[in-house]
Chain A
């Protein structure tokens, strides 16, 4: 149990385009989902906290207009990187919190912006 999927696993896009990443909790409902960014050989950096049916809470320094988050249901949250630039290239990971207060992580999405 407690499986979180993330799609796509890998995406390459041109500078200036937008990319949408989906995060789904497959076998449990998640009122809260989180989006992280991880640079090579570093720890995870929390970008935003997403609660179902409400606006996401962004961490300091994260541009909310650039990283659009939608949490439309108890099993789906999406992150859209708008007008992507090469510096947005990174590994993006989502997590979903279950009713037992444990975060389960998706497999991650490697974004490369050319």
Chain B
């Protein structure tokens, strides 16, 4: 069975601080996908990144960066120089790899990030 754990329920930071959101996953699959989604107060889930299990390169996109460590089954997300607009609930998710089935997402419980001006 697949499982995603986001141990941080809520985090508050002051604007311009860096913040890291943790994500630990469990799966028996040898190939899989990992995702991060952002859910602002409006409710819509915004896709941020997808990572294939065979690609352990870290990724940077503007102020966002992701650290994928297969050895520790972690896929952490760092926001540099946080802004008020970053305030949202962030979900980490895991899905089966191509051809393995229905591509259902297993979500973590989410981390609510509040950036204080």
Residues on A lying within 8 angstroms of B by beta carbon are 2, 32, 34, 42-44, 46, 49, 57, 91, 93, 95, 97, 100-108, 110
Contacts and interface: CB of A to CB of B under 8 A. Distances in A.
Contacts, number: 54
A44 B103 CA distance: 15
A45 B65 CA distance: 27
Given A93-B43, A101-B103, A105-B47, 6 more contacts: A2-B47, A42-B109, A43-B109, A101-B50, A101-B98, A103-B105
A43 B45 contact: no
Contacts of B44: 105-108
Given A43-B107, A46-B104, A49-B104, A93 B45 contact: yes
Residue from A42, A44, A110 having most chain B Cβ neighbours under 10 A: A44
Nearest to B98: A101
Interface string B73-113: 00000000000000000010001001000111101111000
Interface string B25-69: 000000001010100001111110010000000000000000000
A91 to B, nearest CB: 6
A43 B103 contact: no
Contacts of A107: 42-44
Contacts of A104: 47
Contact of A34 (B42, B104, B110): B104
Contacts of A100: 50
B111 to A, nearest CB: 11
A97 B102 CA distance: 10
Contacts of B103: 32, 97, 101, 103
B102 A57 contact: yes
Given A102-B50, A105-B45, A43 B110 contact: yes
Contacts of B47: 2, 102-105
